[in-house]
Structure 1
Amino acid sequence: MLRACARACLLSSRTYSSINFPTPPSLNLQTNNLLSQVRALATRGQLNQALLLFYTLQPPTHCNQTYATLFHACARHHCLQQGLSLHHYMVAHNHITPPDLFVSNHLINMYAKFGYLHHARQLFDEMPRRNLVTWTALISGYAQWGQAVNCFRLFAGLLVHYRPNEFAFASVLTSCGDSYDDGYGRQVHALALKMSLDACVYVANALITMYSKICDHRAVYDVSKDEAWKVFRSTESRNLITWNSMIAGFHCRRLGAQAIDLFIQMHLHGLGFDRATLLSVFSSLNGSNGLDDIVVAKFCYQLHCLAIKTGFILKIEVVTALVKAYSDLGGNIADCYMLFSETSCHRDIVAWTGIMTTFSECDPEESLSLFRQLRRENLAPDRYTFSIVLKAYASLATEHHASAVHSQVIKAGFGG
C-alpha cells in the first residue's frame, strides 16, 4: 500500500512538474530581493559572499541574469575555482536547459579568459544559437592565449554570419601581429578599411602593435614606409593606449630617439602617462642612436624626477627599468644600488636579476653576494638569474663555485 502511494506521488510530481503554479507575491518579493543582493555583492567584488547567499536559495528561484552576473564576476576577479564549481552546480541542477544564450556567452568568456579554450570551444560548438558576442568572446580568447591559427579561422567563420565589430577586429589583428604571417594581418586591415572600422581606436591600436611587430627590424628606418606610424598619424581620436602602443613600437624596433621624441610630444600636449609609458621610454634610452649621450643621461634624470613626482617610482617594474637605464648609460653603480635598496619591501626576482646584471661586469663579487642574499630571502632564481651568476663566476675564474651553481641550475630544472 505504501509503495503504491509512493509510486502515485512520484507520478503526480512528474505530471505536474512542468506546470508553473503561481508563486505567492510575498515569496516572489523575497526571492527578488535576495537575487538583487547576490548581484550587488558580485558587482562590488564580494564574490564569496555572493556565492554563499546564492547557494542558500532554493534552486527554482535561480535565474539566468544571476548566473550571468556571477560568471562575469568570476572572470573579472580571476576566481577560476568558484567559476568551475558554479558551472558544475548549474549543470547538476539542470537550471538552464537548453543553455541560455546570455549565460553561455558569459561562460565562454570566463573559460576563454582563464585559458580553458577547449571548454570554451566545446560550449561554443554545442550552442544551438550564437550571436556576435559569442563569436567575439572566443576569438578574443584565442588571441589572448596566442592561438593565432584558431583565432584567424574563427574570424573567417564569423564573416559568414555577422559583420565583425571593432573588438573582433582588434583581437584578430593582435593575434596576427604576434605570430601569424603578416599577409593575414594586411588582409584584416583591408577589410577594416572596407567596413570603415580602421578609424576606431581599438582597431587602430591593434594595427599599430601589429605593424610594429612584423616590420623588418634590420632595415634602415624610413618614416615614409612605417605602416605603424601612418596608422598613428591618421588616428584622430587617440587614447593613452594609442600613444603607448606607438612608443612601445618604436622601442621594440630599437628606435629610441623616436620613442623619446614621441613621449616629449605627449608630455607637451598635457597628456597623462602610466606605468607602461615609463617602462617603454626607460627601455628605449639605450637604443637612442643619433642623440648625444649627455642629452640622453639628462633626459633619464628628468624621467626619474617625473617618476618620483607622479608616484610611479613606487612600482617595482619602474625602478627595475630605471636601474637598468642608469646602468646602460654608464651611471654611478652606487646610485643604482641605492635605488634598488629603497624598494626592499617590493623586490621580485626580476629586480634582483636586474641589479645583479648591473654589478656582474664591474663588480662580480658583489653580484654573487646579491645572489646569496636573494637565496636567503627564499626567492627562486630563474634561468636569467642563473646565467648572470655563472657569468660572474666566469669573471672570477672559480670553477668550484661555478660547479656548485651548475648543480643548483639542474636542481631547479633549467639544465635541459
Structure 2
Amino acid sequence: MESQWMAEYPHTSVVDKRPRKRARAAWDIPPLMPPSKVLYCGQEVVNSTSSNHVIASSYDYGAPRNVSPPWRDDDKNGHYIYAIGENLTSRYRILSKMGEGTFGQVLECWDHENKELVAIKIVRSIHKYREAAMIEIDVLQKLAKHDVCGTRCVQIRNWFDYRNHICIVFEKLGPSLYDFLRKNSFRSFPIDMVREFGRQLLESVAFMHDLRLIHTDLKPENILLVSSEYVKVPDFKLWMRTTKDCAFFKNLPKSNAIKLIDFGSTTFGHQDHSYVVSTRHYRAPEVILGLGWNYPCDLWSVGCILIELCLGEALFQTHENLEHLAMMERVLGPMPQHMVNRADRGSEKYFRRGIRLNWPEGASSRESMRAVWKLPRLQNLVMQHVDHSAGDLIDLLQGLLRYDPSERLKAREALWHPFFTRDPRRGVYPL
C-alpha cells in the first residue's frame, strides 16, 4: 500500500548577500485557484485567476479523489516528484509549493475531508531525514498534548508514510518573519510590534522548556505569522528623506499573532548536548567554543532575533567561527576568561596564548575585518534603530546575550522584564 499507516489527530483549534534559507511562502500573492491542467514541479502556471476570494468547493474539482498519481522515482537527492493538481493520497490535493529546505519540501494542499487548506511537509526519502521526521512527530505530539489552546506552536493535523516519504500535515499559517522582512526590503518592524513578537516568542520558548524541550534552531524563518494579511503604512524614516510630493510605504502585518515551527532539531533536555546546533547567525558562544549547551542556547537565539526585527537584518552576518566571536566581542565586549579557558581543542586556535581572541591577526581577509569593525556597541546599535523603549530593550538584550549561559535570563524571567511589563507610553508599570 502506498499509504502504509496514518496517525490521525482531531481537527481542533488546538494542533545582502549572505546566503539564507529559502523563502517559505509568497505572502503577498493571493491564493491561486487550481490550474485546469496538471503541472509538474518546475513548470510555471500560465493561466491563473487573479481573484483574492477562494471558493472552497472549487478545490474539489480536477483530479478524481480516489486516483493516485503514477509512480515516479524520486530525484537524485531523494525529493518527492509531484505535479500541481494531482493527489497526495486520496485525501489531499496539491495546490502549490510553499517552500523547501534540506529536509524536503512543503506543499500547500486542499484537505478533501476537512475542507480546509493545509501545509504538508514531505520529507526526503533518506534514512537520516526519515529518522529526524519521526523525532519531530514525537515532539509535535507532546506539544499538541499540552498546548490545548494551540496558540504557541504550529499544530499537527496528522501524518502518514507515502511512497517512502514521511508526510506531516500542519495547519496552514502565514509567512515567516524572515519572509516578511525580505518582501519588505528588509525594513524593520516598529518597536511595539517587536515587543509583541518577543512576548509571544518567549512564551513559546518557556512552554517548551517547561516540557524539557530545547528548540535549538530559533530564527525568523522558523517563526510564522498566523495570518498572511497586511496593510501598507507610510515609512516615516524614508518620508523625511524624500520630496514633499513623494511618499514611501512599507507593509506591516494586520495581526501580530505568531507561532513556532520546525521542530526537526528539537531535543529533550536529558539528551546529548555536545554537537553543534543552531543556524550560524543565532548560535550561542558556548556552542562555538564546544562547552556543551542546554536551555540557555535558545535564549541567546531569542536575543539575536529581537535585534534583527529591530534592524531588519541579522546582527552577526558571518560564516566562520573566529569572525563570529570577533563580532560578539565588538558588540558585547570581551569574552569571560573562564569560558576561554574551558574551550575545547578545536576552539583553542581562536585565542592567543589562551588569553585573548586572535583578532584581527587571525582574520581571513580585509573584508572580514571591515565586517567586524563596522559593528557598533549594543547600546549604540539599539539607539540608532529604536525610537522609544530603547533603554528597556538594551537591558533585556544584555540579559539574553550574556556570554555565560548560567547567567543568561531564563524565558520566564525575561517575560517579567520591564520591556514587556512597563507601559511604553507612560514609562510606568501597569497596576
TM range, smaller chain:
under 0.3
TM-score normalised to structure 1 length? 0.27
Larger radius of gyration: 1
Bigger relative contact order (CA 8 A; separation at least 6): 2
Q: Which structure: greater strand fraction?
A: 2
Q: Which structure: greater helix fraction?
A: 1
